[in-house]
Amino acid sequence: MAQGQKTNRKLIPQASQAMEQFKWETARELGIQVPQGGYMGDLPSRVNGAIGGNMVRKMIAAYEQSLAQGQQPPTPQVTNQNPTP
């Protein structure tokens, strides 16, 4: 892997299982058949991008809704935790 590139890892490791479930739920909502073993590498990147894009859209909507209800959810610090020298 080239220098400066990072692997895809969860910022909050405890949320890993919930994020996986969220991904499958979003895929089903979009009418995407989830492969038997859960491996999605055979699907076109456009399909996987649609799943990720809709996940982000739903997370933003949930945050906006909590703000509209007068709640200020805590915002985790996620900026460049390991700066590149």
Domain locations in the chain as residue ranges: 15-68
Give residue 83's pLDDT: 54
Give residue 2's pLDDT: 53
**Mean pLDDT, contiguous 10-residue spans, the chain (85 residues):** 62 87 94 85 90 95 91 74 55
pTM over the 0.85 mark: no
Give residue 85's pLDDT: 53
What string of DSSP letters covers 68-85?
HTT--------S-SS---
Give residue 1's pLDDT: 47
